[in-house]
């Protein structure tokens, strides 16, 4: 199901530097995610917030959690039941791009929606191989 979400809807939204505000493009993705999730009521969601900002390690953890919470709140506004959503802040722990340029680093400032069946405890993402960070 995670692959279906990724390929058909999109599984992530991006944030501006040092911000947890959801932009227009991310709102569009979240609206489509919510519609898809309402059509698949047997799924639960884990939102992972990520950061690659100029703050300390602790600041990035807090910011990543706030990003995840913003994504959760938006999905709830779009009709996804709150009891189906959990959030987790990963800080800088899982970059998708390792680089020096601001444009490249922006790929790491994201919120990712991970789906799993309600009768399983492990998000699908942990069972599929994902691409390694680009250098």
Task: Tell me the pLDDT tens digit for each residue of 62-111.
Answer: 999 999 999 999 999 999 999 999 999 999 888 888 877 888 888 999 99
Q: Which two tokens stand for residue 94?
A: 């899982």
Q: How many angstroms separate the CA atoms of 43 and 48, rounded?
A: 16
Q: Is the pLDDT of residue 121 over 70?
A: no
pLDDT digits (tens, 9 = 90+) for 1-47: 899 999 899 999 999 989 999 999 999 999 999 999 999 999 999 99
Q: Is the pLDDT of residue 135 over 70?
A: no
pLDDT of residue 25: 93
Q: Is the pLDDT of residue 124 over 60?
A: no
pLDDT of residue 106: 87
Q: Are 1 and 124 in contact, with CB atoms under 8 Å apart?
A: yes
Looking at residue 18, what DSSP letter applies?
T
In residues, how long is the chain?
A: 135
Task: Tell which wins on pLDDT, 126 or 100.
Answer: 100
Q: Are 109 and 66 in contact, with CB atoms under 8 Å apart?
A: no
Q: Are 40 and 113 in contact, with CB atoms under 8 Å apart?
A: no
Q: Are 67 and 49 in contact, with CB atoms under 8 Å apart?
A: yes
- For 71, residues 6+ apart whose C-beta sits below 8 A from its C-beta are 13, 22, 26, 30, 47, 49, 87, 111, 113
pLDDT of residue 40: 93
SS3 state at 96? coil
Q: How many angstroms separate the CA atoms of 38 and 53, rounded?
A: 33
pLDDT of residue 120: 62
pLDDT of residue 129: 38
pLDDT of residue 94: 87
């Amino acid at each position: 199901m995670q692959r279906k979400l990724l390929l058909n809807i999109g599984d992530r939204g991006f944030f501006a530097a040092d911000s947890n505000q959801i932009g227009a493009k991310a709102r569009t993705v979240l609206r489509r995610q919510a519609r898809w999730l309402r059509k698949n009521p047997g799924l639960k969601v884990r939102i992972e917030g990520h950061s690659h900002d100029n703050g300390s390690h602790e600041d990035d953890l807090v910011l990543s959690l706030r990003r995840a919470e913003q994504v959760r709140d938006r999905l709830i506004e779009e009709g996804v039941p709150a009891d189906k959503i959990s959030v987790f802040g990963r800080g800088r722990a899982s970059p998708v791009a390792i680089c020096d340029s601001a444009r490249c680093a922006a790929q790491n400032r994201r919120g990712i929606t991970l789906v799993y069946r309600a009768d399983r405890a492990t998000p699908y993402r942990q069972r599929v191989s994902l691409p390694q960070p680009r250098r």
